[in-house]
Structure 1
Amino acid sequence: MANVVIYTRKLCGFCTAAKSLLSRKAVAFREIDATFDAKLRQEMIRKSGRTTFPQIFIGGHHVGGCDELMALERAGKLDAMLNHG
């Protein structure tokens, strides 16, 4: 199983939706809550090039946010990414 990291913030519906999808798939993930930590937010921006939450990494590869994660699932590509690790 690939290593999954998700940068989140509190009260973020997109973060909740992304975590819910991963949980339904029984995927373990490391959540980095950057709500009140400017250094973690800057780390996320540096790694992803984006300022919005969530930002998701699978196997060290930046896949984007919730919309991109859901698109991978709809396209049938998410399971292969998750199992490639």
Structure 2
Amino acid sequence: MDTKVTLSFNKDVIDRAKSFAEENNISLSRLTEYLYTQITSKDYKSLEELPISDWVDFVAEGRVEYRKSKNRKELKDEFFSSKK
């Protein structure tokens, strides 16, 4: 079941996050959900411990070069299989 959440972010951060999500064929909502899923999946003590710390750095601070290696279906399948 999806739940709506209202969050406030710096406009530049959201613009970069939207671009990142679009480049990776995923909605900003699903990208955010994926990030929260990763953050809450284990008992991490800091951002640096997260396996997605590079993504967090990208969204928070600036551009990095990213090479797309999976198509949309593979990403979607991976995301939903992680929820089981």
TM-score by length of 2: 0.35
The structure richer in strand per residue is 1
Is the radius of gyration larger for structure 1 or structure 2?
2
TM-score by length of 1: 0.34
With CA pairs under 8 Å and 6+ residues apart, which has the higher RCO, 1 or 2?
1
